[in-house]
Amino acid sequence: MKKIFRLVIFTIFLTGCSNAYPPQTVTPDVSEQKIEIISTSTETQDVMINQAEQIVEETSTQKTTTTSEIPAEEPEQTTIQEDLKDKNVLIVEGKEYTLPFTENTSVHDMMMTLSAMSSQPFYFETTEFPGMGYFVNSINGKEQDVKKGIYWIYYVNNKTSTVGISNYIIKKGDVIEWKYETSTF
């Protein structure tokens, strides 16, 4: 009995010691950052999530202003599009999230990143269909209604996607928009 008691006390002591020194984070220059979701330790993942949160905060609050005169024919969105060239946008019911572009990332990966790092709650549920990939059942608690034929449908650059979110690999500048609407699958 004494041995078990000592073992429990020793385990509690070790647990307390490992939490005594919080991990130190280093914030590199934003222009040189890349997000890596796969990691071998939770400390590395926490650092990457913190860095990604900074990128999202900085990019979502950026505004483009110019001091030169713009001719009436030239739309202002060209400047915005140029700023988003190396980023991707995810829109859910009008709420816009900007994330840095990462090679070989699916819409599913992008949503997982956003779910892990968003300061505002963002969560979703999926179902996997073999050969087609993952399809979304709910976003932020709003579930599809099969009886009414209302589903979460995603658009890539204003075009309905024909594959699951795990099968579409994002390209630079893609705008992914989720709409809760009727569908005739």
pLDDT digits (tens, 9 = 90+) for 117-167: 877 778 999 999 888 889 999 999 999 999 999 999 999 999 999 889 999
In a domain, 169, yes or no: yes
Question: CB under 8 Å to 93, separation ≥6 — which residues?
Answer: 139, 142, 178, 179, 180
Q: Which helix (H) or strand (E) holds 44?
A: helix 42-60
In a domain, 26, yes or no: no
Q: Could you tell me the CATH number of the domain that includes residue 96? A: 2.170.130.30
What pLDDT does 10 receive?
54
Report the number of distinct structural domains present in the chain. 1
pLDDT band at 171 (very low <50, low <70, confident <90, very high): very high
In a domain, 148, yes or no: yes
What pLDDT does 93 receive?
86
Per-residue pLDDT tens over the stretch 10-32: 555 555 544 444 444 444 444 44
Give this prediction's pTM.
0.54
In a domain, 20, yes or no: no
In a domain, 143, yes or no: yes
Q: Give the single-character DSSP code of 31.
A: G
In a domain, 108, yes or no: yes
In a domain, 171, yes or no: yes
What pLDDT does 1 receive?
65
What pLDDT does 117 receive?
84
At residue 134's C-alpha, the angle toward residues 130 and 136, to 5°, is: 140
Q: Which domain holds residue 109?
A: 87-185
Question: CB under 8 Å to 78, separation ≥6 — which residues?
Answer: none
